Amino acid sequence: MALALDRPVGGVLFDRDDTLVVDVPYNADPHLVVPVPGARRAVARARAAGLRLGVVTNQSVIAKGMATAEQVAATNARVDELVGPFDVWCVCPHDAGDGCDCRKPRPGLVLAAAEVLDVPVAELVVIGDIGADVGAARAAGAQGILVPTPRTRREEVDAADTVAADLDEAVSLVLASRAVRTA
């Protein structure tokens, strides 16, 4: 599966946990941040291609009272230091039952990132490890790439329009798609 070749790509939005960094459930400790293999290189390739970059992440740890927004921001800053830099961070602090518009798979984080990046949402690609990530992309009008992990459910893989084996392959799909359109 490949990205649609009918529109340009101006930016990439990454999920944080299990996409850019090894998932530590409810992590709000910068010392526990470990990039997934190849993350730094993949992000650097996207940046070198001139794409605007951002992170869209659900962080219900805040709503659950297990961490403060400041602790999550410090953790995100560590991710930025190890893997970034990113042009924008959009964080949903709500829990699943809060009914907000920002929690993935709702489109709010993707729409907010598009506005900050000044990139039309249709020109964004969201890369993540679960159905909520690609669902948020679809709901916002962006494209999505699923990078499954052992925790990704089979039905999420089956429902994804585009699936990549790892983060580097996902970025390669974005860059190849971009190269085809601009050639």
The CA-based angle 12-17-18, given to 5 degrees, is: 90
Put the strands of the sheet holding 11-14 in their side by side order. 88-92, 52-58, 11-14, 124-128, 143-146
Write phi, then psi, for 73 (nearest 5 degrees): -60, -40
CA separation for the pair 45, 35 (Å, rounded): 16
**Active-site residue, 17 included:** yes
Polymer length of the chain: 183
Strand intervals (E) in the chain: 11-14, 52-58, 88-92, 124-128, 143-146
* Max Cα distance, the chain (Å): 50
Q: Which of 15, 87, 129, 133 is catalytic?
A: 15
CA separation for the pair 174, 29 (Å, rounded): 31
**Active-site residue, 166 included:** no
Q: Which of 17, 87, 129, 133 is catalytic?
A: 17
Active-site residues, by number, are 15, 17
